[in-house]
């Protein structure tokens, strides 16, 4: 549990005090008052972060509340929202549960290629407007560009093109990142792990995506190591701090959890200034 006032929550998530109170009244937040201050659990923070992202995507507040209510009603006893994530699906809301994606209103499963936003939690690399780096072997850059264009219409073809790009240049980092992400979204978790771990040069995004993958493989200790590796390479990865704070909280390491949560908060304060 961590103590926050309305100004803290505004800086962290961009939510007004009225919006936070509405979430609490609806039962989506369960803060505990201690020494005159409200203390929020990590699940509360996940709800706030999710509500913030959906509001930023112009999802109406009423629909956000309704989705959260339906999710809580459908969860088995004792299970929390920590393993779920919400993402905009056009003007609707999709729920990601491991490798599965379903629409909150209809309960129907959706295809990952239907999502307008980037996949939840995973980082992807877009082709630069300029030419590919000169270090890339001939053919690798063209295959990478072809793969990226195929992602929405033909994910399997995109994976094959990314694999061909890596065959042409084993060190083409962008192809490795996007191939691992597509394999992850397709539920080919072990293949995705092999792709990420096949990198011969350290890269922060590869380490971050590997950590997300290891979480979905229910390997939290390995995920912690991968998140730490990503921060060693890029200390400005705010999401890595947030996810580490959650994993340390689940591991009952409150000191480490608070350290990473404070680091996340400092970055949000700086970016909001």
107 or 50: which leads in pLDDT: 50
Alpha helices in 218-253 (DSSP H): 220-233, 238-250
Highest mean predicted confidence (pLDDT) among 27-31, 129-133, 244-248: 244-248
CA-closest candidate to residue 218, choices 250, 241, 242, 186: 250
How far is it, in rounded angstroms, from Cα 95 to Cα 59? 14
pLDDT in tens, 167-206: 999 989 999 999 999 999 889 999 999 999 999 888 999 9
Confidence bin at 30 (pLDDT 50/70/90): confident
pLDDT at residue 104 greater than cutoff 60: no
All residues at 6 or more sequence positions from 179 whose CB lies less than 8 Å from its CB, including other chains: 147, 159, 162, 163, 166, 195
How far is it, in rounded angstroms, from Cα 108 to Cα 205? 31
In this structure, which CATH number among 1.10.8.50, 3.90.950.20, 1.10.1660.10, 3.50.50.60 belongs to the domain 1-87? 1.10.1660.10
CA-closest candidate to residue 128, choices 119, 141, 118, 139: 141
144 or 77: which leads in pLDDT: 144
- Note whether 51 and 23 are within 8 A (CB): yes
């Amino acid at each position: 549990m961590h103590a926050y006032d309305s100004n803290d929550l505004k800086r962290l998530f961009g939510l007004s005090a009225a919006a936070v109170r509405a979430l609490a009244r609806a039962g989506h937040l369960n803060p505990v008052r201690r020494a005159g201050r409200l203390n929020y659990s990590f699940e509360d923070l996940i709800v706030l972060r999710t509500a913030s992202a959906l509001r930023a995507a112009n999802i109406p507040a009423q629909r956000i509340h309704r989705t959260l209510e339906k999710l809580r009603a459908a969860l088995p006893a004792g299970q929390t929202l920590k393993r779920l994530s919400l993402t905009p699906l056009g003007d609707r809301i999709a729920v990601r549960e491991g490798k599965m994606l379903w629409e909150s209103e209809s309960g129907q499963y959706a295809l990952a290629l239907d999502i307008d936003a980037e996949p939840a939690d995973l980082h992807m690399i877009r082709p630069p407007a300029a030419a590919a780096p000169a270090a890339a072997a001939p053919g690798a850059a063209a295959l990478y560009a072809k793969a990226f264009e195929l992602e929405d219409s033909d994910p399997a073809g995109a994976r094959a093109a990314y694999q061909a790009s890596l065959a042409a240049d084993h060190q083409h980092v962008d192809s490795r990142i996007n191939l691992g992400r597509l394999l992850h979204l397709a539920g080919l978790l072990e293949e995705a792990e092999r792709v990420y771990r096949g990198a011969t040069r350290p890269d922060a995004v590869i380490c971050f995506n590997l950590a997300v993958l290891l979480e979905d493989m229910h390997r939290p200790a390995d995920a912690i190591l991968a998140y730490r590796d990503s921060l060693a390479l890029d200390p400005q990865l705010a999401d890595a701090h947030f996810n580490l704070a959650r994993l340390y909280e689940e591991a009952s390491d409150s000191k480490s959890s608070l350290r990473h949560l404070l680091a996340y908060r400092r970055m949000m304060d700086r970016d909001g200034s």
